């Protein structure tokens, strides 16, 4: 009898397994680049490119802007990291140690959810991890819609996977994996320290209680847990609940090229696009993020096709079509702002052609819709939110019943998602797109209201309204000339002043930020002030025929800021900002010194020191060795170039007249996440005080120095 029951149980379980695999395969086999409603899906297995994933990453919570994190990690040596295959997440390094809970960190758009999708698909297609009986992917963004309800773990699973109703997941010898995707999108606090202990899978509890107990192992202790998150939210989970910490680093340089080669059937076109992206350091670095690869591929492919079509129409095309370099190079994007501006134009043009039958090169902008989207992007960026719900849209004047209009208008910019369970969520395709739309909104707001989005002063508006009311009440019109003069005086001259004020205020706010959360927004904001970029947005933004003075003012303002003692992170972002403004004067000065070998005798200003740091850190060559003598034998030079030393594997600081001041600085490097393995300090004037300072760094648990001379 017991054997029959066991057989029936096993047979029922296999039915549940097959039903779940069929359901997950159907859901996960296709990938939609952009918005699913388009119907332009591709089989994931055809285009999937392996991501670079490492294990044992730093447990320190990194709140730095995620683009900055990408720029930093792109300089780290892969040889010092421990790579791990996505399929081996739960494979224990030692036979007697079990990996129950894995956390995978990664910046927005780096490929965490796609990695989950590939993992689940491989299991559903019976290619990998067949020792796992059931996999339940539970996206946090969808669970937000159930935050106020009480349900049991079984009820929660059944709501997401109706085909498993009646399954006994608590049965022994059954390996179950829960994938909790997108912790950073979860709006509940996860109160690990105060939530009551819960162990019954069939008893209802709040979602917060269920999840904290599932992660801690009180609820279904035999289950495996995989959590994905952006870095800043990783601290929501206590470290002692995590058995393995991994990080998705996106595409390394080889994988970037592989992506473009898979993306295009025409390999000559792929090579051309790869060559173009490589010419822009900031673009190539950003292509560590798969979404940015996709944006770049979309834009450059469209530019190529458009130019070749124009050539054919003008009977100028021969057997060899023009390349990106040969064709009107002014139109080919070289900065992030140019790339994202082209992307917005192409997506809206595509949408107009598809839905309205428009076949014109001029974009017909829906200014009201973009203004509403921009308001949403800007204010949610201030709150650091990527996922929005009905109430968020309503707060920005967006009718939730017409939300699909926005996703239709901005195909692959803004998307509406309906979860497995009832409820709708909204988001921009990527954080960087949200930041671009927020910057665009700041310019639109300035055009319409003649004031900065950073100014919340109704006094002047009230004054003008009162003056207008009094003029209208006047029976003889004696106030009309005054009113006319007032508007001319207050509004006309303020146009340029307002632009400069907006940009300067944004620079100040970005520099005030501890984690640089406005860094990329600032790059876009500055880039959109240029007429060359505004020309692409004709009909949406006012065209400024003469904004050279505004550009000169803001460039000078940024250079003044670089004269201050800024952190390397903030300085580097300001150089990227200057790049968006097409100003490379400081960088070229330093490159001239480097080529002439005259740095050791040059008297550099703080801004030039920052420029030198920027040039060295953004060099295409890997920083194997840093030799201080090539620059200047002094404590000041070492302190100024400390971030370069931190990135190098070997630092040769011998015979440089260094004192204990340098030791204090080096101690901070040794106690941080650094590539440094070898340090030569021979023949310097360190004194006992300097050696003691150095020892504090050497004693730090994070110190991985192997050779000290």
Please report the pLDDT score of residue 328 as a whole number: 45
Assigned CATH class of 16-250: alpha beta
Check residue 89 and give its pLDDT: 84
Comparing 16-250 with 584-708, is the CATH topology the same? no
> Residue 58 pLDDT more than 60?
no
Cα four-point dihedral sign 628, 630, 633, 639: negative
Residue-wise pLDDT for 175-220, tens only, equals: 899 999 989 888 888 899 999 999 998 899 999 999 999 999 999 9
554 Cβ neighbours under 8 A, 6+ residues apart? 500, 503, 504, 507, 526, 529, 581
- List the one residue out of 42, 32, 20, 228 whose CA is nearest residue 124: 20
Give pLDDT tens digits for 660-705: 888 988 888 888 878 888 999 998 888 888 888 899 888 888 788 8
Tokens describing residue 503: 């940009």
**Cβ neighbours around 684 below 10 Å, total:** 20
* Cβ partners under 8 Å of residue 640, min gap 6: 609, 612, 613
What letter would DSSP give residue 629?
Answer: G
Q: Would you say 67 and 61 are in contact if contact means Cβ atoms under 8 Å apart? A: no
DSSP percent split of the chain into helix, strand, coil, nearest 5:
55, 10, 35
Q: What percent of the chain has pLDDT over 90?
A: 15
Nearest by Cα to 336 from 108, 499, 579: 579
Q: Is the CB of residue 285 less than 8 Å from the CB of residue 70?
A: yes
Tokens of 574: 């300001």
Among 35, 82, 59, residue whose Cα is nearest residue 404: 35
Model pLDDT, residue 368: 85
Measured CA to CA, the distance from residue 678 to residue 312 in angstroms comes to: 59
Q: 493 pLDDT exceeds 50?
A: no
What is the DSSP secondary-structure string of 237-290?
Answer: S-GGG-SEEEEE----HHHHHHHHHHH-S-HHHHHHHHHHHHH-HHHHHHTTSH
579 with 618: CB under 8 angstroms?
no
Q: Are 425 and 417 in contact (CB under 8 A)?
A: yes
Stretch among 168-177, 333-342, 436-445 having the lowest mean pLDDT: 168-177
Of residues 247 and 47, more confidently modeled: 247
Positive or negative, the CA dihedral 212, 69, 557, 545 is negative
Max Cα separation, the chain?
105
Higher pLDDT, 399 or 664: 664
Q: How confident is the model at residue 556 (pLDDT cuts 50, 70, 90)?
A: very high
d(CA 601, CA 269): 47
- SS3 labels along 275-311: HHHHHCHHHHHHCCCHHHHHHHHHHHHHHHHHHHHHH
- Higher-scoring residue by pLDDT: 459, 214: 214
- Going from the C-alpha of 538 to that of each of 117, 341, 364, 582, the distances in angstroms are 40, 11, 9, 20
Which of 22, 28, 226 lies closest to 121 in space, CA to CA?
28
Give the SS3 label for residue 425. strand
- What would the DSSP string read from start to end of 462-503? HHHHHHHHHHHH-SS-TTHHHHHHHHHHHHTTHHHHHHHHHH
Contact 99, 90 (CB under 8 A): yes
DSSP at 40: -
Q: Residue 108 in contact with residue 230, Cβ under 8 Å?
A: yes
How far is CA 234 from each of CA 184, 291, 365, 388, rounded to the nearest angstrom?
8, 22, 40, 20
Angstrom distance (rounded) from CA 261 to CA 136: 33
Parse the chain into domains and list their residue ranges.
16-250, 254-434, 435-559, 584-708
Q: Is the pLDDT of residue 408 over 50?
A: no
| Tokens representing residue 2 in the block | 């017991």
> At 49, is the pLDDT very low, low, confident or very high (cuts 50, 70, 90)?
low
| Helices and strands per DSSP (H, E), number in the chain | 29, 18
What secondary structure does DSSP assign to 106-158, as a single string?
--TTSSHHHHHHHHHHHHHTTSS-TT-SEEEEEEHHHHGGGTT-EE-HHHHHH
Q: Which residues contact 244 (CB under 8 A, 6 or more apart)?
A: 55, 89, 90, 99, 101, 102, 103
Average pLDDT (443-461) is: 76
For range 269-294, the mean pLDDT: 85
Q: Quick one: average pLDDT of 153-167?
A: 88
Distance CA 642, CA 628 (A): 11
- Sign of torsion over alpha carbons 316, 320, 325, 331: positive
Mean pLDDT lowest among 9-23, 229-243, 391-405: 391-405
Give dist(CA 41, CA 452) in Å, integer.
Answer: 41
Paired residues of 244 in beta bridges: 102
Q: What is the mean pLDDT of residues 410-420?
A: 54
Residue-wise pLDDT tens digits, 566-621: 887 788 889 889 989 989 888 888 888 888 877 777 788 888 888 888 888 877 66
End-to-end CA distance of the chain: 76
Mean pLDDT of 464-485: 59
Pairing of strands 53-55, 82-83: antiparallel
How much is the average pLDDT of 395-401? 76
Structure tokens at 90: 């739960």
203: tokens are 């008893």
355: confidence class by pLDDT, cuts 50, 70, 90: low
Q: Which two tokens stand for residue 25?
A: 């395969």
For residue 178, the SS3 value is strand
Q: How many CB atoms lie within 10 A of CB 633?
A: 15
- Rounded to the nearest 10 degrees, the angle between the axes of helix 687-698 and helix 660-670 is 0
What is the rounded average pLDDT of the residues 116-142? 88
CA dist., res. 607 & res. 280, Å (int): 22
- Structure token digits, residue 455: 């100014």
Name the pLDDT band for 103 (thresholds 50, 70, 90): very high
Q: What percent of the chain has pLDDT over 70?
A: 76
Name residue, tokens 């590539």. Answer: 675
- Report the candidate in 608, 655, 602 with the shortest Cα–Cα distance to residue 627: 655
Distance CA 442, CA 451 (A): 9
Give the homologous superfamily in CATH for domain 584-708: Ribonuclease Inhibitor (3.80.10.10)
Quick check: 164 and 157 in contact, CB under 8 A? Answer: yes
- Of 459, 497, 464, 498, nearest to 482 by C-alpha is 464
Is pLDDT at 73 greater than 70 in this prediction?
no
pLDDT band at 563 (very low <50, low <70, confident <90, very high): confident
For residue 206, give the 3-state DSSP assignment. Answer: strand
């Amino acid at each position: 009898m017991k054997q029959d029951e066991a057989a029936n149980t096993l047979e029922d379980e296999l039915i549940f397994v097959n039903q779940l695999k069929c359901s997950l395969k159907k859901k996960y086999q296709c990938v939609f680049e952009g918005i699913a409603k388009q119907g332009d899906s591709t089989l994931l297995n055809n285009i999937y490119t392996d991501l670079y994933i490492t294990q044992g990453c730093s447990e320190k919570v990194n709140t730095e802007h995620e683009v900055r994190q990408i720029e930093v990690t792109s300089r780290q040596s892969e040889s010092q990291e421990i790579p791990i295959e996505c399929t081996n997440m739960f494979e224990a390094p030692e036979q007697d140690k079990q990996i129950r809970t894995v956390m995978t960190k990664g910046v927005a758009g780096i490929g965490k959810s796609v990695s989950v999708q590939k993992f689940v698909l491989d299991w559903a297609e019976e290619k990998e991890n067949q020792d796992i009986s059931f996999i339940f992917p539970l996206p946090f963004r969808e669970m937000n819609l159930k935050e106020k309800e009480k349900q049991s773990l079984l009820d929660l699973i059944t709501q997401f996977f109706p085909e498993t109703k009646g399954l006994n997941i608590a049965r022994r010898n059954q390996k179950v994996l829960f994938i909790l995707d997108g912790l950073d999108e979860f709006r509940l606090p996860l109160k690990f320290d105060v939530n009551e202990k819960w162990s019954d899978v069939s008893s209802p509890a709040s979602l917060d209680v269920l999840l904290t107990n599932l992660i801690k192992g009180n609820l279904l202790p035999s289950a495996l847990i995989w959590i994905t998150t952006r870095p800043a939210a990783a601290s929501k989970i206590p470290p002692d609940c995590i058995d393995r910490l991994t990080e998705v680093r996106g595409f390394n340089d080889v994988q970037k090229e592989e992506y473009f080669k898979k993306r295009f059937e025409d390999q000559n076109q792929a090579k051309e696009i790869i060559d173009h992206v490589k010419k822009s350091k900031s673009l190539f670095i950003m292509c560590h993020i798969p979404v940015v690869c996709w944006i770049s591929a979309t834009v450059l492919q469209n530019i190529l096709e458009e130019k070749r079509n124009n050539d054919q129409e003008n009977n100028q095309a021969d057997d060899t079509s023009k390349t990106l370099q040969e064709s009107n190079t002014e139109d080919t994007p070289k900065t992030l702002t140019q790339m994202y501006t082209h992307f917005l134009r192409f997506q809206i043009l595509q949408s107009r052609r598809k839905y309205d039958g428009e076949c014109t090169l001029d974009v017909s902008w829906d200014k009201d819709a973009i203004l509403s989207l921009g308001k949403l992007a800007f204010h949610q960026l201030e709150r650091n939110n990527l996922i929005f719900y009905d109430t968020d849209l309503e707060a920005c004047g967006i009718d939730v019943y017409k939300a699909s209009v926005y996703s239709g208008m901005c195909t692959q910019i803004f998307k509406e998602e309906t979860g497995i369970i009832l409820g709708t969520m909204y988001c921009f395709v990527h954080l960087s797109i949200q930041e671009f739309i927020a910057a665009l909104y700041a310019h639109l707001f300035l055009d319409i209201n003649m004031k900065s989005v950073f100014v919340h002063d109704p006094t002047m508006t009230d004054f003008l309204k009162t003056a207008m009311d009094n003029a209208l009440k006047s029976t003889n019109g004696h106030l009309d000339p005054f009113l006319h003069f007032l508007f001319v005086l207050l509004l006309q001259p303020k146009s340029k002043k307002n632009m400069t004020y907006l940009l300067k205020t944004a620079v100040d706010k970005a520099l005030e930020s501890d984690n640089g959360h406005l860094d990329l927004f600032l790059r876009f904001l500055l880039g959109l002030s240029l007429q060359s970029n505004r020309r692409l947005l004709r009909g949406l933004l006012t065209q400024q025929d003469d904004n050279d003075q505004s550009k000169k003012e803001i460039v000078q303002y940024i250079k003044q800021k670089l004269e201050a003692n800024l952190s390397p992170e903030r300085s580097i972002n300001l150089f990227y900002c200057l790049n968006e403004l097409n100003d490379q004067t400081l960088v070229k000065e330093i490159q001239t010194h480097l080529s002439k070998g005259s740095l050791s005798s040059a008297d550099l200003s703080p801004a030039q020191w920052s420029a030198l740091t920027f040039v060295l850190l953004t060099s295409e060559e890997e920083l194997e060795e840093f030799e201080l003598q090539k620059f200047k034998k002094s404590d000041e030079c070492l302190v100024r170039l400390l971030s370069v030393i931190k990135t190098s594997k070997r630092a040769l600081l011998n015979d440089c007249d260094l004192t204990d001041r340098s030791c204090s600085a080096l101690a901070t490097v040794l106690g941080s996440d650094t590539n440094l393995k070898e340090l030569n300090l021979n023949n310097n004037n360190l004194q006992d005080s300097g050696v003691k300072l150095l020892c504090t760094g050497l004693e730090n648990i994070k110190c991985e120095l192997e050779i000290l001379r």
